């Protein structure tokens, strides 16, 4: 068994410095800390995506739907579902992607992984 105390993990501030907690073919767990006013612009991934708001508040949007989410909120996105995640005041998020990598996910070098 492995475990993490998510409230004690140092998470760099900003969308460019995610902390990968675990990664294997079953899934990937990543902590992201958004600073005030930061966002993950409209994007999609090839995997199922679970987003958990750990601290702060985040606005989760997909298509015409939007949710103002506080600590303890869990949201689920289907593979290829487009989304935007933003935080006016800052937030700490846990992102779980499964399976990893998803079918059709390409990594650097231009070829499938």
The reported pLDDT for the residue numbered 110 is 44
pLDDT along the chain (113 residues), means of 10: 90 76 93 91 88 96 94 95 93 91 60 40
pTM here is 0.83
| pLDDT the model gives residue 27 | 93
Hey, which residues does 52 pair with through a beta bridge?
74, 94
Q: What is the pLDDT of residue 113?
A: 39
Looking at 2.60.120.10, 3.30.470.10, 2.60.120.1130, 3.10.180.10, the CATH number of the domain 14-103 comes to 2.60.120.10
Domain boundaries, the chain: 14-103
């Amino acid at each position: 068994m492995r475990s993490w105390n998510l409230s004690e993990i140092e998470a760099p501030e900003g969308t460019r410095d995610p902390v990968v907690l675990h990664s294997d073919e079953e899934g990937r767990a990543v902590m992201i800390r958004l600073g005030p006013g930061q966002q993950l612009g409209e994007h999609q991934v090839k995997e199922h995506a679970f987003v958990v708001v750990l601290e702060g508040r985040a606005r989760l949007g997909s298509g015409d739907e939007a949710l103002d989410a506080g600590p303890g909120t869990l949201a689920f996105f289907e593979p290829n579902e487009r989304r935007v995640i933003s935080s006016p005041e800052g937030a700490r998020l846990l992102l779980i992607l499964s399976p990893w990598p998803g079918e059709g996910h390409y990594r650097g070098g231009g070829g499938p992984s």
